[in-house]
């Protein structure tokens, strides 16, 4: 059905989300173009993003790679994680209205594929309108469809429309990417893996149709602890969260990031300098006030679940590196694409800040008092207001009297009277 396939991965661990078997099937068996989306680039340093891009491009030459994020970061946040994203506690990602980074690059990749067979000028105009914070008049249509398992002969660019299909693991940001391309929320998003349940089609423009499907989990030999931290496995269904937490603690200094104090110090026990997963959960539960209902003891299970959730959300950032990245780190930090990527994120962040400031000013101006006499637009004259207040008081009195009557008619009312 799709003319172009988008394989969406999380930049923190693209090797886990990228399927070589799917790459061979799409490019060789189906003969369709495949575009790899490195999503959530705001959670990784720009140098690491560029290193992954070149590594995957070298390993899989038939790929076209686009870097994308719906929540670009500011210069201060990027500089803070430039050394190692796992050494700092990240801010919570703002999920308000913002201009995404990457739609223009995706349009260029699609334009290179379709060439002159499909008119994509409307898509480019829509991107420019979103970047300039101008509302587009194009209507996006969302359909929830039941998967059709019957065989259909694929017709390339049918009716002059290019169909772009999005595939990937759960929780890699497929729905957020669609919202970023459209410029507004048209698809429901959630941090819970598997939130999308139906096949959805969105007309970005009259000649561009986007297809979103539920997350696909391919057969893998990856450890279950890593699958949980990558967002593939729902945290709410994890029965034993201490193993993935220990996996995370072995790679990120959680004690320093969370400023934890060993529970042995609080319980006057001998402290030998070691930290286990239970010690981390105990210390975090005491710091956050997670206590059990009956015994008022630290709730270790709740603390472990909370730490895993903020890790998947990106506040505790675990980023994997491509081979030989540590040796060539200085080269990637000085790369031309690294500086360009940093500049694009910074510009988009400033633009999003201007949009949010403008929306706040507009909302506050609606609530301001107007007119020469200082009367608000929504405010009524004094006489009417006093009349309305008296009527509301009378209504309240009537309501109270009716409630007293109901109470007096209660047949069990005399049981409490002595």
Mean pLDDT of 354-362: 54
| pLDDT computed for residue 193 by the predictor | 58
Same domain for 188 and 327, yes or no, is yes
> Is residue 363 in some structural domain?
no
Range in 56-70, 120-134, 186-200, 391-405 the model is least confident about: 391-405
| pLDDT computed for residue 287 by the predictor | 92
How many other C-beta atoms can be found within 10 angstroms of the C-beta atom of residue 135? 9
| pLDDT computed for residue 76 by the predictor | 58
Going by pLDDT thresholds of 50, 70 and 90, the confidence category of residue 198 is low
Same domain for 201 and 111, yes or no, is yes
**CA–CA separation, 129 vs 137, rounded Å?**
10
Share of the chain above pLDDT 70, in %: 66
Same domain for 25 and 151, yes or no, is yes
Q: Enumerate residues 6+ apart whose C-beta is below 8 A from 210.
A: 164, 166, 178, 181, 201, 202, 203, 204
Mean pLDDT of 399-408: 42
Same domain for 213 and 329, yes or no, is yes
> Is residue 346 in some structural domain?
yes
pLDDT, mean over the chain: 76
Residue reference for tokens 């497929």: 174
Going by pLDDT thresholds of 50, 70 and 90, the confidence category of residue 346 is confident
> Is residue 367 in some structural domain?
no
Same domain for 304 and 330, yes or no, is no
| pLDDT computed for residue 356 by the predictor | 59
| pLDDT computed for residue 270 by the predictor | 62
Q: Which stretches of 158-311 are assigned E, i.e. beta strand?
A: 162-168, 199-205, 208-212
- Greater confidence (363 vs 243) lies with 243
8-state DSSP, 323:
T
| pLDDT computed for residue 306 by the predictor | 95
Same domain for 30 and 175, yes or no, is yes
Query: What total of structural domains would you count in the chain?
Result: 2
Same domain for 327 and 304, yes or no, is no
**CA–CA separation, 352 vs 284, rounded Å?**
34
| pLDDT computed for residue 355 by the predictor | 56
> Is residue 59 in some structural domain?
yes
Same domain for 152 and 131, yes or no, is yes
> Is residue 103 in some structural domain?
yes
Query: CATH number for the domain including 179?
Result: 3.40.50.300
Residue 251 has pLDDT above 70, yes or no: yes
Same domain for 202 and 61, yes or no, is yes
Domain that holds residue 32: 4-220+323-353
Going by pLDDT thresholds of 50, 70 and 90, the confidence category of residue 379 is very low
Share of the chain above pLDDT 90, in %: 37
Q: Are 281 and 303 in contact (CB under 8 A)?
A: yes
| pLDDT computed for residue 67 by the predictor | 93
Where does residue 255 rank: exposed (0-12), middle (13-18), buried (19+ CB within 10 A)? middle
| pLDDT computed for residue 381 by the predictor | 37
| pLDDT computed for residue 344 by the predictor | 82
Residue 399 has pLDDT above 90, yes or no: no
Going by pLDDT thresholds of 50, 70 and 90, the confidence category of residue 268 is low
Q: What is the pLDDT of residues 44-86, one digit of tens each?
A: 999 999 999 999 999 999 999 999 988 776 655 655 555 556 5
Same domain for 176 and 123, yes or no, is yes
CA-closest candidate to residue 93, choices 241, 309, 248, 291: 309
| pLDDT computed for residue 12 by the predictor | 93
Query: CATH number for the domain including 306?
Result: 1.10.1580
> Is residue 291 in some structural domain?
yes
Residue 106 has pLDDT above 50, yes or no: yes
> Is residue 385 in some structural domain?
no
Mean pLDDT of 303-321: 92
Going by pLDDT thresholds of 50, 70 and 90, the confidence category of residue 398 is very low
The top-scoring range by mean pLDDT among 10-14, 170-174, 230-234, 359-363 is: 10-14
Q: Which two tokens stand for residue 396?
A: 């309240």
Q: What is the pLDDT of residues 314-342, one digit of tens each?
A: 889 899 999 999 999 999 999 999 988 88
Residue 215 has pLDDT above 90, yes or no: no
The model carries a pTM of 0.75
Q: What is the pLDDT of residues 139-177, one digit of tens each?
A: 444 444 444 545 456 678 888 899 999 998 888 888 888
Reduce the DSSP state of residue 284 to 3 states and report it.
helix
Strand partners, 205: 208
Q: Which two tokens stand for residue 214?
A: 């539920």
Same domain for 133 and 24, yes or no, is yes
Same domain for 260 and 329, yes or no, is no
């Amino acid at each position: 059905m799709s003319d172009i396939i988008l394989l969406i991965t999380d930049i923190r661990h693209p090797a886990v989300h990228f399927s070589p078997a799917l790459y061979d099937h799409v490019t060789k068996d189906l003969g369709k173009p495949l575009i790899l989306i490195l999503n959530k680039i705001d959670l990784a340093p720009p140098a690491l993003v560029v290193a992954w891009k070149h590594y995957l491009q070298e390993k899989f030459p038939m790929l076209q790679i686009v870097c994308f994020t719906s929540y670009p970061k500011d210069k201060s946040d990027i500089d803070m994680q430039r050394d190692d994203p796992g050494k700092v506690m990240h801010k919570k990602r703002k999920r308000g209205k913002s201009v995404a980074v990457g739609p223009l690059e995706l349009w260029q990749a699609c334009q290179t594929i379709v060439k002159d067979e499909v008119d994509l000028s409307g898509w480019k105009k829509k991107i420019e309108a979103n970047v300039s914070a101008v509302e587009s008049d194009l209507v996006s249509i969302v359909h929830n469809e039941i998967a059709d398992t019957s065989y259909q002969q694929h017709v390339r660019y049918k009716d002059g429309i290019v169909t772009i299909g999005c595939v990937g693991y759960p929780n890699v940001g497929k729905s957020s990417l669609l919202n970023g391309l459209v410029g507004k929320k048209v698809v429901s998003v959630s941090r819970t893996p598997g939130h999308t349940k139906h096949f959805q089609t969105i007309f970005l423009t009259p000649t561009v149709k986007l297809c979103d499907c539920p997350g696909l989990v391919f057969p893998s030999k990856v450890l279950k602890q890593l699958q949980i931290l990558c967002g593939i496995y729902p945290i709410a269904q994890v029965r034993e969260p201490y193993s993935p937490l220990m996996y995370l603690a072995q790679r990120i200094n959680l004690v320093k990031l969370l400023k934890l104090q060993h529970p042995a110090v609080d319980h006057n026990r001998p402290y030998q300098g070691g930290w286990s997963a239970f010690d981390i959960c105990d210390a975090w539960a005491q710091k956050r006030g997670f206590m059990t209902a009956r015994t008022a003891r630290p709730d270790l299970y709740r603390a472990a679940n909370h730490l895993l959730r903020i890790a998947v959300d990106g506040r505790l950032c675990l980023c994997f590196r491509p081979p030989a990245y540590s040796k060539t780190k200085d080269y990637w930090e000085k790369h031309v694409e690294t500086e360009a990527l940093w500049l694009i994120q910074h510009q988009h962040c400033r633009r999003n800040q201007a949009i949010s400031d403008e929306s706040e000013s507009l909302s506050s101006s609606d609530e301001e008092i107007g007119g020469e006499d200082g009367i608000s637009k929504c405010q009524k004259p004094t006489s009417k207001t006093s009349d309305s207040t008296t009527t509301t008081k009378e209504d309240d009195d009537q309501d109270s009297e009716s409630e007293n009557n109901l109470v007096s008619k209660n047949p069990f009312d005399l049981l409490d009277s002595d």
